[in-house]
A and B are shown apart, each in its own frame.
Chain A
Amino acid sequence: MSEEKQIVLECRDVSVRYGDVVALSGVSISFARGRIHAVVGQNGAGKTTFARAISGLVSPDTGEIRIDGRALPSGNVNQARQAGVELVHQSFALPPSFTVAEAMQFGAADGRIYSRRGLERRWQTYLDSLNVKVKAGQRIRDLPVETLQSVEIARALVSDARLLILDEPTAVLSPEGAQKLFERIRHLKDVGVTVIVILHKIREVLAIADTVAVLRGGLLVEGPVECSGIDAEKLAELIIGPAARPLEEDQKAALTGSLDTAHAHLAQSVDRATVEPVLKLSAVSTRHDSDGPPLEDIDLVIRPGEILGLAGVEGNGQRTLVRAISALAETSEGKITIEGLDVTRASLQTRRAAGLRVIPFERNVEGLSLTSALWENWSARELLQRPLLSMVRPSELRQRCGTALDAWEVHYSNVTQRAGSLSGGNAQKVILSREMDEQARLIIAAQPTRGLDIGATAFVWDSLNRARARGCAILLISSDLDEIMDICDRVVVMLSGRVVGTFTPPYDLADIGAAMTGVSK
């Protein structure tokens, strides 16, 4: 019993400031040895800063961090590592051109010289012992993201880590990948490693952690409390805080992972078969390109007031499909119509004029120009519908942008600030305000909630539902099956560039999962 209660890491009144911004304020918390601790909060709640502070990457402005009862000299990452603390970053830090063995050696250089083969043998044994299925001779850049993360974790464990900190490890993973990760974390716990895992999905917290602590606005609002003593609803309230608007019942259900109450709205689903579709793809195929498998014979119909979910393991042609609909991948065969208009050979500009809107996969690359001003980002779509040499009045655009951003509840200080200065959720709201205007008829939402906290996720769902109520046709691409099953009127599954299944409510997770992995029913 006393073994279990032993404190491995303790923070006393830790505050971190970045300039004027207080990222963490007066956080006092301690974590017991040999357990899995979750730290949750919305984006901007201070989770990543917390992870960096306890791993010595960021030095606190006030307070102290004690590991095994010994104070950690402020911001000393080497001292922290010697004390057995290892951090696995949110975005990976392995050099892409290295082989796995080289990357492992890079973290653990022991001053000895190895031949290439010797190096690979050495690390292959180690990786095998951790049950990481990868060849030590493979290049980092060739690894799928799940494997990459396993390698990162394996690397963190080289130096005999006793406290492993994972910063949003599931953000980049598919649901199956997350399951595998959780098994790995439980295995680590079994061998005596204490794990602190930063998360923002409640159901993941409840699935993996022993205790949970909640950060909000840099303050510790709860915890660590035993997960057995808290339910999803209570946790959601703690994370969002009292200021949040009340969530719709089905949204709350989706956030907390209880699916039974969802689909209430689907009962009233009208007979849509008679309505002219907004988007129609007839036997569409594309040529092979670098973005995954080409499309083969895709037939797809989305009618007004319908959210069509596109499920599938990532990399099965979803990107190519979005690009084909957006005229960014050439349609080699077949026909695409938007609102009855044949746009197979039309440019994206023409398709957008017909009512197409796209919320792209990569928010920070395809959706926004981070170093440009908010108003420029916001007005790009509209400006492209005019002749290039038409005169514009920036002051008027700025004013209209401000009005729009206010209406979409974007937190910003000035429309001339750079888009990159917004948090993920706010950045996504800027994109929504641009792509979900009144003239929108067909909205392609590609992973619109990826990486967002639950407040912003609920906002996105709410917006999609409102657009549906207005009569828009929506294509929602997501790797989060819960999300898809909660808000879609119909679900299609893609595998290797083909549509392999269509599902209607009530959904059966097992059926959809089988279609995604190609297991015949």
Chain B
Amino acid sequence: MTESIVSVLRALIFIVIALALCGLIFSVAGYSAPDMFRAIIDGAFLRTGALQQALRWGLPLFITAAGVVISFRAGYFNIGAQGQFYIGAICAAFAADWLNGLPAFIVIPACFLAGMTGGALWAMWPGILRLRSGADEVITTLMGNFLAVIVLIYVTSGPLKDPSGSGQQASSRPLDAAYRISTSYGVSPTIIAIAILVGVLLWLLVNRTAFGVLSGLAGRNATMVTWQGARLWNIGLASFIISGALAGLAGTVELMGPNGRLASGFLPAHGFTAILIALVANLSIVGTAIVALFFGGLASAALYLPVIAGLPSSAIDITNAAIALFITAKSNIVDRFLRNWRKRGWTT
């Protein structure tokens, strides 16, 4: 228990340091740092409808990030969430296109199935390459991201192109309203239910199954579980498939919910933010849910800043990047501070 409290504290300290750095950058750039932070906090959490907006951005991020947790915990650095997210959305869009006209209770599940399968397959080939021949999954999944972007451009300007589109951004025809699971506003009971279902199932998978314990061990020491009789092929491939399927699910949610159509290059940072969330949450499912809502708030502030406050939305990118930098650097200084802090027993 103390272990997890310390890890949450550590994350918080990093975020504070990161924000201090952001403040410095804002000041140097000629903005008032306090104003900027006020605007960000306001945009993210305080203004009316902020919670809904945080949910709108945070829930799909949570779904993808939960998948990232599964592969990272097992020791496979699947950084291809973005590509798997795109391929999932593309497969769902094809399914919707082919089944267009059929009743919603057939089309919607079919789209989800297609999206999750697409994402899973897009994570599976790097998984097979890794487990069969040791090809570094960081390289292959990263390549997969670029390929997925190109496929998305092709699909939106070719097979699924909306002929009446503006031409500014290639996109598919809008989905029939009957097939949407939320309005463009972005939150609906369906999406919330999906996210809760994902959260509960994954929490059980990680914390209450043999797979959860064994994949955690495999992630820290694959040799040891091999000597215990584990087949990395099973645990590893399952991890790739689950993480890809969840990214694909998030892509489907974005397509059939807020977006309503497949647009070339939509949400280009989704997968990477999800990885960041998983890391900040220290690969815990509960942590991922909380951090995802926090980053969801920041994402909604990115839209709010230029419109309402007249400030550049890249302030959010800077904040994200600074947090990422500090979290992943895992500074020894903060660790040492926390260790002393724990030893001196200031905990009450």
Contact = CB atoms under 8 A, between A and B. Distances in A.
Contact of B227 (A366, A376, A391, A394): A366
Contacts of A349: 229-231
Q: Which of B220, B224, B230 has the most CB of A within 10 A?
A: B224
B234 A376 contact: no
B213 A394 contact: yes
A421 interface: no
B210 A388 contact: yes
B211 interface: yes
A366 B208 contact: no
A397 B204 CA distance: 16
B226 interface: yes
Given A365-B221, A369-B221, A388-B235, A380 B211 contact: no
Contacts of B231: 347, 349
Contact of B214 (A358, A384, A394): A384
Contacts of A19: 343
B213 A379 contact: yes
Interface string A28-44: 00000000000000000
B217 A387 contact: no
Contacts of A520: none
B242 to A, nearest CB: 11
Secondary structure of the A side of the interface? loop
B216 A376 contact: yes
Contacts of A358: 227
B221 A387 contact: no
B17 interface: no
Contacts of A122: none
Nearest to B227: A366
Secondary structure of the B side of the interface? helix
B220 A372 contact: yes
Contacts of A392: 208-210, 212-213
A386 B227 contact: no
B210 A387 contact: yes
A511 to B, nearest CB: 34
Q: Which of B227, B230, B234 has the most CB of A within 10 A?
A: B227
Given A376-B216, A388-B235, A367 B227 contact: yes
Contacts of B217: 369, 372, 376-377, 380
Interface string B1-45: 001000000000000000000000000000000000000000000
B235 A380 contact: no
B223 interface: yes
A326 B3 CA distance: 35
A380 B207 contact: no
A389 B208 contact: no
A389 B225 CA distance: 16
A366 B221 CA distance: 8
Interface string A353-372: 00000101010011111111
Contacts of B229: 347-349, 351-352, 381, 384-385
Interface string B228-240: 1111001100100
Interface residues of A, number: 39
B343 A20 contact: yes
Contacts of A326: 227
Contact of B228 (A371, A384, A388, A393): A384
A20 B345 CA distance: 12
Contacts of A384: 210, 214, 225, 228-230
A330 B37 CA distance: 61
Q: Which of A347, A365, A371, A392 has the most CB of B within 10 A?
A: A392
Interface string A315-327: 0000000000010
Contacts of A413: none
Interface in B192-223: 204, 207-214, 216-217, 220-221, 223
B210 A383 contact: yes
Given A20-B343, A349-B231, A352-B229, A372 B221 contact: yes
B214 A383 contact: yes
Contacts of A328: 226-227
A19 B229 CA distance: 38
Given A394-B207, A416-B3, A371 B220 contact: yes
Contact of B210 (A348, A371, A390): A390
Interface string A178-208: 0000000000000000000000000000000
Contacts of B234: 388
A366 B231 CA distance: 14
Given A328-B226, A352-B229, A416-B3, A372 B214 contact: no
A380 B227 CA distance: 10
B224 A389 contact: no
B164 to A, nearest CB: 48
A397 B220 CA distance: 19
Contacts of B210: 383-384, 386-390, 392
Interface in B86-105: none
A370 B224 CA distance: 10
9 contacts: A349-B231, A358-B227, A380-B228, A380-B230, A383-B214, A384-B225, A384-B228, A388-B210, A392-B208
Interface of A: 19-20, 326, 328, 347-349, 351-352, 358, 360, 362, 365-372, 376-377, 379-381, 383-394, 397, 416
Given A369-B224, A372-B221, 19 more contacts: A326-B227, A328-B227, A347-B231, A348-B226, A349-B230, A366-B227, A372-B217, A380-B217, A380-B224, A380-B225, A380-B228, A384-B225, A386-B210, A388-B234, A388-B235, A389-B209, A389-B210, A390-B209, A392-B210
